[in-house]
């Protein structure tokens, strides 16, 4: 099974007040902490919704400003075209991923219960997600329900939405 890691990074960081993907944590941008945690678990990593670090950048589908499902759509289409079986999606603000995330999620489709950005998705869902988005659906939870994704209980995952969330993480003062 070939797994594509997709960092969903097209958001506007409104609650954070600045570009949270570039906020510093442990001496490097938050998004780099996420990439470092994700890369050993997948066959390749892409960034959805922005350019970063020389990694393949995928434009949100069908366009920007349509939420994280637009990034997931781009990743699913890329995965299907490039011979990947699944996409492991994570947010650019989730730096402390379990080292065995793919195994914990098990079969696809599956999502981390309560952390809808974290999911394992069959690449074959690409056109189905297109139809879901075309119908005006933007909710990750609604998408998970629509495809019958298993909800997997994971230990609490850091999800940085505000500066205070970042400050509460170990190593945030580095």
Per-domain residue ranges of the chain: 3-167
Residue 13 banded pLDDT, cuts 50, 70, 90: low
CA–CA gap between residue 117 and residue 146 (Å, rounded) = 15
Q: 6 forms bridges with which residues in the sheet?
A: 46, 89
Identify the CATH number of the domain defined by range 3-167.
3.90.550.10
**Model pLDDT, residue 17:** 65
Helix (H) or strand (E) holding 165: helix 163-167
**pLDDT tens digits along 111-165:** 999 899 999 999 999 999 999 999 999 999 999 999 999 999 998 888 777 778 7
Residue 10 banded pLDDT, cuts 50, 70, 90: confident
User: Average pLDDT in the 13-28 region?
Assistant: 77
Q: Kindly report the backbone phi and psi dihedral angles of residue 89, in degrees, each rounded to the nearest multiple of 5, phi listed first.
A: -100, 140
Report the half-sphere exposure of 14 (CA within 13 A, side-chain side).
3
User: Average pLDDT in the 1-8 region?
Assistant: 97
**Model pLDDT, residue 123:** 98
Residue 14 has pLDDT above 80, yes or no: no
């Amino acid at each position: 099974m070939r797994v594509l890691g997709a960092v969903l990074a097209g958001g506007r960081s409104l609650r954070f007040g600045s570009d949270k993907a570039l906020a510093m944590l442990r001496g490097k941008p938050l998004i780099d902490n996420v990439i470092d945690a994700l890369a050993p678990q997948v066959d390749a990593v892409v960034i959805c919704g922005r350019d970063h670090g020389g990694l393949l950048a995928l434009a949100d589908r069908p366009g920007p400003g349509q939420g994280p499902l637009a990034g997931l759509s781009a990743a699913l289409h890329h995965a299907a075209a490039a011979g990947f079986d699944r996409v492991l999606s994570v947010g650019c603000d989730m730096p402390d991923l379990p080292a065995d995330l793919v195994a914990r999620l098990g079969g696809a489709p599956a999502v981390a219960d309560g952390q809808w950005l974290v999911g394992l998705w069959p690449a074959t869902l690409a056109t189905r997600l297109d139809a879901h988005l075309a119908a005006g659906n933007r909710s990750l939870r609604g998408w998970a329900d629509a495809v019958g994704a298993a909800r997997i209980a994971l230990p609490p995952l850091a999800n940085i939405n505000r500066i205070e969330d970042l400050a509460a993480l170990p190593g945030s003062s580095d």
